[in-house]
Amino acid sequence: MSVKSGVTNLLRFTKTLGSLRIYLLITLSIFNFLALTKALAEAGITVEDAYVRETIPGTTISSAYMKITNASAKDLAIVKATSSASPRVELHEHSMADGMMRMRQVEDISLPAQTSVVLQPSGLHVMLFDLKQPLQAGQSIELVLHFANGSEQLVRVEVQSIKQKRAQQTHHHHH
């Protein structure tokens, strides 16, 4: 093996190493991107039994309910909710005051690690104002939950008539 071919081989090897390094960098970037996308989409959060009430004719408001589970080891909090169906969405809580059921806006909904929080009638709920269209049973709307850490969760929420929900609750009592 001549000195010249040795140098050529060495150059070729160096070039391969360089390509390999670029390849590794790209691969790592893709992995980082996937990890980030996953964190943004999930954040250890699952949402079940999401429903929003049918609008009462002549009104443009409704409230949404759901069970939210934080399976992660981190304490999370919902700080905002948005929807393409409404320009104004607020986090609300019902409470008894002087024998009257009242509701008030809350800053956030805490989701401690490894717990579930249930948004339900007479409790925490998501309030939708100025609905662009009446909500009818059988339809569904999109709701985006925004977390304190910047992540988001898109939730498809079924529109249910009040009658329908009552029937289901009655059914649950039989168990």
Binding site for Cu ion (CB under 5 A): 92, 103, 127
Give yes or no for a contact between 107 and 89, defined as CB atoms under 8 angstroms apart: no
- Closest contact distance (angstroms) between CB of 175 and Cu ion is 29
- Closest contact distance (angstroms) between CB of 94 and Cu ion is 7
DSSP code string of 25-88: HHHHHHHHHHHHHHHHHTTTEEEEEEEEEPPPTT---EEEEEEEEE-SSS-EEEEEEEETTBSE
Whichever of 6 and 121 has its CB closer to Cu ion, that residue is 121
- Closest contact distance (angstroms) between CB of 95 and Cu ion is 11
d(CA 79, CA 82): 10
Whichever of 39 and 103 has its CB closer to Cu ion, that residue is 103
Q: Count CB-CB contacts under 10 A for residue 92.
A: 17
CB closest to Cu ion, residue no: 92
Whichever of 38 and 104 has its CB closer to Cu ion, that residue is 104
Whichever of 64 and 111 has its CB closer to Cu ion, that residue is 64
- Closest contact distance (angstroms) between CB of 84 and Cu ion is 20
- Closest contact distance (angstroms) between CB of 165 and Cu ion is 16
Contacts of 96 (CB under 8 A, 6+ apart): 102
Pairing of strands 140-147, 76-83: antiparallel
Whichever of 103 and 148 has its CB closer to Cu ion, that residue is 103
